[in-house]
């Protein structure tokens, strides 16, 4: 048993912290957000230069074949500095979805060098977060397919050049690759409260390329999403750590009634509960990430447990960080509210705590 980073992973963590401190300093968030497009472009360029985009791509696909723990080392830094990046969707989720298929070789090369971005459309209007709820229809055969349907939400998909989407063929749930500018595809773009940019897709006879075997996509989709979830868990942990650190600093320096407010026992106890929530979340993040190689049912059980619990812990820490800061915590001029908003959206992404508790019920409580 070993919960330590290797030297290489420590270097990744260090470089993530440097990139964050350099491009996304916490002191003037609103000014950074006013310059969003430029800063995110510079962030993506640096990530490409550092090899991060290549890291999660398998060696057989021409990537560096980095491990989930390597990704964790980066993502804790992303969370700590609240870097609004599409890294998880683009460089973790999509490569895991399309890995091994020659039809995706060009796409993976482009993702790895940072010349294209991709995102995955896996959720539909009546399915909630259920990856197996697919009504989008695929017709055709061989290299020649067209898709018709709707994808309700594409995480970090607003600026994607390519979409990987699920659709149903006669054989069942399958994966397809679609160009963002394909005729018949309507992309609606949205901004979330944490500044991430997402998309909704309407597909009306859109030309697509089949990825992998028709009808056999669901297990691959579930594994890829579990990997993306683990990257998000690490991001949540990094963000919680930063929010707690800023709160402790505030408790030590803010004075009311003639004393530092950190001298009040009720606030001390709250800070302790935040520290416990962070420790709990970190433990669950490690546990889920280290379980990604287990058989599917066991892996999904652990990942769902971690997703639910880290979501709850993250919301607790984010909300209490705002509460203990009082009015300035609610203002957007401090970094604190931005941590809470990211925690709120991380809890939703790839399934809310509620969804994952339900999945856990099916796998453990009823399924065992």
Partner 1 sequence: MDLDFTPAELAFRDEVRAFFAKTVPAEWLTRVRAGLRLEPADLIAYQKALAAKGWGAPTWPVEYGGPGWTPAQNYIFESESARAGAPIQFHQGLELIGPIIFTYGSQELKDRYLPGIINADDWWCQGYSEPGAGSDLASLRTTAVRDGDHYVLNGQKMWTSYAQVASHMFVLARTSQEPKRQQGISLLLVDMKTPGIAIRKIETMDEKYTTNEVFLDDVRVPAGNLVGTEGKGWEYGKVLLDRERMVCSATAIHLPQVLDGVRDAARTRKVGGVPLIETPAFAAQLAQLEIEAMALETMVLRLLADLASGADSGPRGSMVKLRWSDLYQRATALWMDALGPEAAHFRALEGEAPADMPDGMQGALYSRVTSIYGGSSEIQHNIIARRALGL
| Footprint of partner 1 (CB under 8 A) | 30, 123, 125-130, 133, 152-153, 155, 158, 188-193, 196-198, 200, 255-257, 264, 266-267, 315, 319, 322-323, 326-327, 329-333, 337-338, 340-341, 344-345, 348-349, 352, 354, 357-358
Distances in Å between the Cα of 173 and the Cα atoms of 40, 144, 213 are 34, 17, 10
Task: Give the HSE-up count for residue 144: Cα atoms under 13 Å, Cβ half-sphere.
Answer: 2
Closest to 240 in 3D by CA, of 267, 275, 192: 275
Dist CA 67 CA 12 (whole Å):
12
β-bridge mates for residue 350, sequence order: none
Dist CA 250 CA 368 (whole Å):
46
Dist CA 27 CA 36 (whole Å):
16
| Residue whose structure tokens are 């509210």 | 337
Tokens at 105, concatenated: 């070789």
β-bridge mates for residue 151, sequence order: 201
Tokens at 124, concatenated: 């539909």
149 φ/ψ sector (left φ>0, alpha ψ -120 to 50, else beta): left
């Amino acid at each position: 048993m070993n919960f330590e980073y290797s030297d290489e992973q420590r270097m990744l963590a260090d470089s993530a912290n440097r990139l964050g401190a350099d491009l996304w300093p916490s002191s003037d968030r609103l000014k950074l957000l006013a310059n969003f497009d430029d800063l995110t472009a510079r962030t993506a360029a640096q990530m490409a230069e550092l090899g991060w985009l290549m890291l999660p791509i398998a060696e057989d696909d021409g990537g560096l074949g980095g491990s989930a723990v390597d990704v964790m080392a980066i993502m804790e830094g992303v969370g700590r500095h609240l870097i609004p990046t599409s890294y998880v969707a683009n460089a973790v989720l999509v490569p895991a979805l399309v890995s091994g298929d020659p039809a995706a070789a060009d796409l993976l090369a482009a993702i790895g060098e940072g010349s294209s971005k991709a995102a995955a459309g896996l959720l539909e209007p009546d399915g909630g977060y259920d990856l197996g709820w697919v009504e989008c229809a695929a017709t055709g055969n061989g290299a020649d397919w067209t898709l018709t349907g709707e994808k309700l939400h594409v995480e970090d998909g607003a600026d994607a050049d390519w979409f990987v989407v699920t659709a149903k063929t006669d054989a069942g749930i399958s994966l397809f690759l679609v160009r963002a500018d394909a005729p018949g595809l309507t992309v609606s773009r949205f901004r979330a409260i944490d500044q991430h940019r997402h998309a909704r897709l309407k597909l009306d006879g859109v030309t697509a390329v089949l990825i992998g075997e028709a009808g056999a996509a669901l297990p691959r989709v579930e594994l890829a999403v579990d990997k993306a979830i683990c990257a998000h868990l690490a991001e949540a942990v990094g963000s919680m750590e930063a929010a707690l650190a800023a709160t402790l600093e505030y408790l030590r320096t803010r004075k009311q009634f003639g004393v530092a407010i950190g001298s009040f026992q009720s606030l001390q106890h709250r800070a302790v509960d935040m520290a416990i929530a962070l420790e709990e979340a970190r433990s669950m993040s490690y546990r889920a990430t280290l379980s990604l190689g287990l058989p599917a049912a066991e892996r999904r059980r652990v990942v769902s447990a971690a997703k639910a619990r880290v979501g709850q812990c993250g919301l607790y820490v984010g909300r209490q960080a705002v509460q203990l800061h009082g009015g300035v915590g609610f203002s957007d001029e401090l970094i604190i509210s931005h941590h809470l908003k990211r925690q709120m959206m991380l809890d939703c992404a790839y399934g809310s705590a509620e969804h994952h508790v339900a999945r856990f019920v099916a796998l453990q409580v009823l399924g065992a």
